[in-house]
Structure 1
Amino acid sequence: MNENVVKKANNADHLKKADQQYYFHPTTPLKLQQQSGPGLIIKEGQGINVTDVQEDVYIDGVSSLWNVNIGYGRQEMAEAAKQQILNLSYSSSFFNNSNDKVIQLSEKLAELTPGDLNVSFFTSGGSESNETAFKMVRHYWKLKGNPERTKIIALDLSYHGVTMGATSATGVREFDSMITSSAPGFLHAKPYLTDCEKGDTSHLDYETSIRGIVEKEGPETIAAVILEPVQGVGGINIPPEGYLKAVRELCDEHGIFMITDEVICGFGRTGKMFGVDNWEIVPDVMTVAKGITSGYMQLGAVLLKTDLRDELAEMSEDVFFHGFTYSGHPTACAVALKNLEIIEKEDLVGNAKRMGAELHKGLKYLEEKHKVTAKARTIGLLGAIELFADRENENGFDPSLHAAQQVVEECLNRNLLLRPLAFGGINAVALAPPLIVNKKDIETIIERLSEAIKAFENKAF
């Protein structure tokens, strides 16, 4: 056996054992990790591909965690981080201090965001951003003389993170069920009841709509509504036309803040700079992370309207007692600035829209070719296809079969990384490749996914 092959095998074996012994994985079946070790150990990334320690190359069809928008291995990103580290690696923004990069990034975000979402508060990621948004709006109502306005309405099948408040807002019950106590004041509405949100009280689901909950609880107790423009983890659920507008009008009617969670949708993923741009809606508060740096550095932000910041400033002379050690981290901000420069310079938002159309055609082709596939949906480079035992009657597979997981494993065997979604009774395969993909890349992804679905069909029937 070649000496290099032996070294690689020994290194991989050592890493696997060390992983089992020393690394506690996030969002992973712990028993599986202890019994079998990590599924993949990635060591390199370039473009849309990643390479494991066995030198196997995979197409990353989900941008890792929906976040590597500009692809892997960008030299200019490394240079931006290096130069900033040499200039000023870290600087605190506490106690009214600042740094040049956080100011420049704040100004850039104000240029990109819709409406007058011109003010940025920085965090280290999506969970922190949503947690901050909840604290901000509750703090506002307290200063306003309405301390009873604390309740946050989120949607079923929503995902907003894993900190205490973010978990409590999350509508995927599996995340909530692991904790022994939820944060108070979080309510969940059934999504996409457009007629109800417009005021149709005769609808059978009216009481579980956002409007129904507002009326039941009393608008004077509601601080905010939070929703994803497109639900990600919950199934790549795209709202019907008119829904976001109806929610915006409902919030305006009752003076409720509208928060949109753009952690997945933001920075080009949906074929627009932000998800809400698809429906020309401007929220009061927007949370972002992931694509703001394309995963090259940890960073998130809360973007709020100028008048909200001005009111908070006017009403309070005390310290705003909230912040993170890495709020406004200059290196992270420098990386974000370079990332946004690349997105604009290479028209990756436009490419997401164009290649999203190719992805949609590909998924529709899979619907025609395979008997278990249906409900293909895309918006930009964010898409999914569902699996059914009987698609004519929309009868799903027995949950114990883990259909989506099986298809994703078959994709893995074909060097394609995708993600199973099996919440809320669905079995879906999610796709969200880097925004740099071309038509040939999409064709390869669809071809390998088709082979994987065929292999699953052969086992299932």
Structure 2
Amino acid sequence: MAIVEANPDLGAQIVADAKEYVLYSWSVQDQIDPIAVAGAEGRHFWDYDGKRYLDFASQLVNVSIGHQHPKIIQAIKDQADQLCTIGPPMANESRSRLGRMLAEVTPGDLSVSFFTNGGAEANENAVKLARMVTGRSKIIARYRSYHGATNGAVTLTGDPRRWAVEPGMPGVVRMFDPYTYRCPAGHPDPCPVCTGAPHLEEILEYEGAHTVAAVILETVTGTNGIIPPPDGYLQAIREVCNRHGILLILDEVMAGFGRTGRWFACEHWDVVPDILTVAKGINSGYVPIGAMIARGEIVDQVRSRFFPGGLTYAGHPLACASAIASIEAFQEERVVENAAAVGGHLGESLHGLAERHPSIGDVRGLGCFWGVELVKNRETREMLVPYNASGEAAAPVARLAKAALEQGLYLMTHWNVIMVVPPLTITREEVDAGIAILDEALAITDEYVS
């Protein structure tokens, strides 16, 4: 394990320079206090003091294969020796080969990829393609979605991160999420929101189905709670889209490439979208890359037309080579199968925590993609941290995360939800180590239970 020699002075200088010279994303700049990371391997990273952290967040739910995988590193080196960069108008081996591999691993007849630098661009281009194909303008997105930070993608995003750029991209219409724990319809039986079709059909009545190009949704809601849809929901949305000639775009930037214990989350419900967007787990973030992957039948409708999209570094050879190596490693090392098996143990362990800690209101997830929702009261389901809270209102979960970090466990939290999303290569022993730290930290949130 290549742990560098401790150098606290260098770590302190790196943090000082970061605070002065770097503008940090989604942060109050005066409050940032980043960890100066000296190195990483597998499921751990460490700082310049030599302290190791178990990465229960996969950084931003993207380091799916773990840190510093030798096969991916070697592929980047080999590609750099052969061809460091070439423009998108050219053809090169790694880009073409990756396109073929994606057609092979994705479900159904998804077969043509448009490469991007990340997930936000993939979603923007998916909307662009849907509007071209249908000749319609409106896009239906959900309130608890997150689709990226670029102007169009953040407009598609339903959570408050879109507020700062509104009015944003025109033509976006909202619908509710199938969040059974906090159903906006009160979850009657049958529920119009959580069964999918009735709620969407009502929106189409108001908006005019003939004006709607696509429905875009995260197959499993990610940042905003890790919310798997109820059985039947995706199938119902797919059927409504088919009935009205509306394209279905599934955003699997976070949920794709094994995160849920299947190659793609939509495979849990046997639903194939018209367009699938991916990034993050495609190569675990080793080099920036994303893709919009469309059904061949969809792309055939625009092959004779000019497609207005693309950026200089899209489909970069180094990125494509790293993605090829990652997919091969997933297959050779049975990473998806490990995510399913160890993910089952992870889920059982989290449910065990719920039995011991009254601040846990709900545990939900698939594979290595779990959310632990914290409440003040299980009966009323009052959120421990209110929606979109910050400052003192968000202190309970912030205290938990800090306590876990001090014990060497790196967590991602969002309002009142702990996201438990370790690399898919994690072992049962590492799960147990992380759960033990989380178990201890949850005593902090239990203090707030009424």
Q: TM-score, normalization: structure 2?
A: 0.92
1:377-392 equivalences in 2 (<5 Å): 377-392=364-379
- Note the C-alpha offset of 1:12: 2.1
Per the alignment, residue 366 of structure 1 pairs with 353
1:100-179 equivalences in 2 (<5 Å): 100-141=93-134, 146=135, 149-172=136-159, 174-179=160-165
Q: Is the Cα contact below 8 Å between 1:236 and 1:383 reproduced in 2?
A: yes
Per the alignment, residue 429 of structure 2 pairs with 440
- Distance of 1:405 and 1:255 partners within structure 2: 45
Q: Which amino acid aligns with 1:435?
A: L
Q: Is the Cα contact below 8 Å between 2:359 and 2:449 reproduced in 1?
A: no
- Distance of 1:138 and 1:201 partners within structure 2: 33
- Note the C-alpha offset of 1:9: 2.6
Q: Is the Cα contact below 8 Å between 1:258 and 1:283 reproduced in 2?
A: yes
Which is further off, 229-238 or 401-410?
Answer: 401-410
Closer/same/farther in 2, CA of residues 253 and 407 from structure 1, 3 Å limit: same
* Structure 1 residue runs without a partner (length 5+): none
Q: How many equivalent residue pairs?
A: 434
- Distance of 2:197 and 2:428 partners within structure 1: 45
Which is further off, 182-191 or 384-393?
Answer: 384-393
Closer/same/farther in 2, CA of residues 384 and 162 from structure 1, 3 Å limit: same
- Note the C-alpha offset of 1:393: 2.6
**Matching residue within 283, 289, 292 for 2:279:** 289
Deviations 1:351-389 (A, max 9, x none): 101011101111111011112112111200000111111
1:186 and 2:186 equivalent?
A: no
Q: Secondary structure at the match of 1:408?
A: helix
Q: Which amino acid aligns with 2:65?
A: I
Deviations 1:198-220 (A, max 9, x none): xx999599999322111111011
1:12-161 equivalences in 2 (<5 Å): 12-33=11-32, 38-94=33-89, 97-141=90-134, 146=135, 149-161=136-148
Per the alignment, residue 411 of structure 1 pairs with 404
- Distance of 2:385 and 2:424 partners within structure 1: 35
- Note the C-alpha offset of 1:418: 0.8
Per the alignment, residue 229 of structure 2 pairs with 239
- Distance of 1:180 and 1:160 partners within structure 2: 15
Q: Secondary structure at the match of 1:11?
A: helix
- Distance of 2:76 and 2:384 partners within structure 1: 47
Deviations 1:125-154 (A, max 9, x none): 00010011111111223xxxx3xx110001
Deviations 1:77-135 (A, max 9, x none): 111101101101111122xx211111100000000011100000000000010011111
1:275-314 equivalences in 2 (<5 Å): 275-314=265-304
- Note the C-alpha offset of 1:406: 2.2
- Note the C-alpha offset of 1:438: 1.1
- Note the C-alpha offset of 1:67: 0.7
Q: Is the Cα contact below 8 Å between 1:93 and 1:99 reproduced in 2?
A: no
1:449 and 2:449 equivalent?
A: no
Q: Which amino acid aligns with 2:162?
A: D
Q: Is the Cα contact below 8 Å between 1:71 and 1:435 reproduced in 2?
A: yes
Deviations 1:382-420 (A, max 9, x none): 001111111133123364153322221221111101111
- Note the C-alpha offset of 1:311: 1.2
Q: Secondary structure at the match of 1:118?
A: strand
Deviations 1:331-355 (A, max 9, x none): 1111100000111111111110101
Q: Is the Cα contact below 8 Å between 1:191 and 1:209 reproduced in 2?
A: no
- Note the C-alpha offset of 1:459: 7.2
Per the alignment, residue 339 of structure 1 pairs with 326
- Distance of 1:370 and 1:154 partners within structure 2: 35
Per the alignment, residue 268 of structure 1 pairs with 258
- Distance of 1:250 and 1:180 partners within structure 2: 29
Q: Secondary structure at the match of 1:389?
A: strand
- Distance of 2:385 and 2:350 partners within structure 1: 23
Q: Is the Cα contact below 8 Å between 1:124 and 1:299 reproduced in 2?
A: yes
Q: Which amino acid aligns with 1:138?
A: R
Closer/same/farther in 2, CA of residues 204 and 327 from structure 1, 3 Å limit: closer
- Distance of 2:278 and 2:97 partners within structure 1: 17
1:179-258 equivalences in 2 (<5 Å): 179-192=165-178, 209-258=199-248
Q: Is the Cα contact below 8 Å between 1:125 and 1:298 reproduced in 2?
A: yes
- Note the C-alpha offset of 1:320: 2.2
- Distance of 1:435 and 1:447 partners within structure 2: 19
- Distance of 1:459 and 1:140 partners within structure 2: 52
Deviations 1:269-322 (A, max 9, x none): 0000001011110000000000001111100000000011111114x2xx3231
Closer/same/farther in 2, CA of residues 460 and 10 from structure 1, 3 Å limit: farther
- Distance of 1:274 and 1:68 partners within structure 2: 16
Q: Percent identity?
A: 35
Per the alignment, residue 389 of structure 2 pairs with none
- Distance of 1:282 and 1:78 partners within structure 2: 32
Q: Which amino acid aligns with 1:190?
A: F
Closer/same/farther in 2, CA of residues 207 and 294 from structure 1, 3 Å limit: closer
Q: Which amino acid aligns with 1:323?
A: G
Closer/same/farther in 2, CA of residues 307 and 208 from structure 1, 3 Å limit: closer
Q: Is the Cα contact below 8 Å between 1:125 and 1:299 reproduced in 2?
A: yes
Closer/same/farther in 2, CA of residues 251 and 292 from structure 1, 3 Å limit: same
